[in-house]
């Protein structure tokens, strides 16, 4: 099912959502026009390479000194390819504006970044010796999806489910999204040759973080 839009009204302009999207898109486009060697180096320096923190000496040997875990934050704004950036920004466009509406701009920004860092941390613990960079806003966006799940469970999400367009409750669409993530993790873990290139544990970590934390970031006049 591909989401097209939602039906939840939004009473404020989502400047933070749009700004995050603009930063991610701008960084991605700039890196597309860089020499390959430079963009490759930047992905490794500012993407989260788990083994860099599990084995600092390895990181030093490959030109990645310890950065105080800065890449747990900077990796959120990097994306690996066109499908990666388009999918992340599409989900952000559909769901984040309403969450920002309920939290306010400052709280939403803090919520987004905290969920992203926690999601990246979960991904790190799941594969601490991985030697390729983990990048993307999907962990933070998963936290946004969790907030939407609890704040707008019965709003409708318009989805394309080949060959028809359907309206389904958000609780159903996002519930299926979580089930798919869990299925993918199980498959990649226990089925030989079925490894995924997605940061699946970051998705789950972000969603759990958002589910726990969203209530603490709502406007004070918002019901939990």
| pLDDT at residue 12 in the model | 95
Task: Look up the CATH number of the domain holding residue 179.
Answer: 1.20.1540.10
123 lies in a domain? yes
- What H or E segment, with its residue span, contains residue 168? strand 164-169
Q: What is the pTM of this model?
A: 0.93
Number of domains in the chain: 1
Token pair 């060697």: residue: 37
| pLDDT at residue 194 in the model | 45
223 lies in a domain? no
| pLDDT at residue 135 in the model | 96
- What H or E segment, with its residue span, contains residue 169? strand 164-169
The three-state (H, E, C) secondary structure of 84-107, written as one string: HHHHHHHHHHHHHHHHHHHHCHHH
222 lies in a domain? no
Domain ranges, residue 177? 2-217
User: What is d(CA 208, CA 203) in angstroms, rounded to the nearest whole number?
Assistant: 9
Kindly give the parts of the chain with pLDDT less than 50.
Answer: 193-195
């Amino acid at each position: 099912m591909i989401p097209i839009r939602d039906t939840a009204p939004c009473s404020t302009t989502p400047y933070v959502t749009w700004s995050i999207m603009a930063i991610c898109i701008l960084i991605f486009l700039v890196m597309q026009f860089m020499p390959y060697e430079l963009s490759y180096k930047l992905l490794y320096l500012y993407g989260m390479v788990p083994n860099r923190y599990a084995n600092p000496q390895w990181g030093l040997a490959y030109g990645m000194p310890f950065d105080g875990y800065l890449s747990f934050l900077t990796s959120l704004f990097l994306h690996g390819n066109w499908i990666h950036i388009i999918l992340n920004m599409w989900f952000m466009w559909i769901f984040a504006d309403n969450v920002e509406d309920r939290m306010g701009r400052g709280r939403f920004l803090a919520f987004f970044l905290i969920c992203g860092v926690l999601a990246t941390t979960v991904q790190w613990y799941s594969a601490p010796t991985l030697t390729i960079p983990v990048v993307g806003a999907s962990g933070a966006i998963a936290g946004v999806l969790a907030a939407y799940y609890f704040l707008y469970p019965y709003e409708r999400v318009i989805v394309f489910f080949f060959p028809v367009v359907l309206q389904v409750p958000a609780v159903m669409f996002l519930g299926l999204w979580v089930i798919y993530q869990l299925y993918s993790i199980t498959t990649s873990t226990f089925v030989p040759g079925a490894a995924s290139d997605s940061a699946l544990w970051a998705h789950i970590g972000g969603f759990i973080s958002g589910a726990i934390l969203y209530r603490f970031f709502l406007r004070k006049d918002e019901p939990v």
